[in-house]
Amino acid sequence: MLRYYAVAYAYALLKDPYIWGGDDFSGRDCSGQVQEILAGVGLDPSGDQTADGLYRHYKSKRVDKIRAGCVVFYGHETKITHVGFAIGMGLMIEQGGGGSMTLTVSDAIRDNAFSRIRPIKYRHDFVCAVDPFS
């Protein structure tokens, strides 16, 4: 049941601005977004985690079949650079479009950087998915 609450919460965060290093209501980056979703159901690892840190924490929960509630990782096995939250049907909600220079809401508007739905396989650097609910 927690899985479905997490997915519903992820939808509620759609259109929030991307802010590099952000983890609050003014905006979040990709790892801040996933941490916020997981925190909502009590599964957020302690401390501020980067995408790579989330991967290191959850990599023992890798899955072959991606379902709603899985966390998806991008980059390389040795360095994860992006993370999203699967919502089912091959889709994820991610904080995207920004980067290290996206520090304010004005920057996010300029960069068209926000929480959005994208196909999980739209990036060519997909590494794996994990199921934090397993």
pLDDT tens-digit series, residues 78-105:
999 999 999 999 999 999 999 999 999 9
The pLDDT score that the predictor gives to residue 72 is 98
The domain total for the chain is 1
Contacts with 64 (C-beta within 8 Å, 6 or more apart), sequence order: none
Cβ pair 80, 127 in contact under 8 A: yes
pLDDT surpassing 90 at residue 124: yes
- Residue 92 and residue 61: Cα distance in Å, rounded? 18
* pTM for this predicted structure: 0.95
Residue 70's domain comprises 2-130
Express each pLDDT in 8-23 by its tens digit.
999 999 999 999 998 7
CATH for 97: 3.90.1720.10
Distances (CA, A) of 79 to 17, 84, 105: 25, 15, 28
| Residues 40-70: tens digit of each pLDDT | 999 988 877 899 999 999 999 999 999 999 9
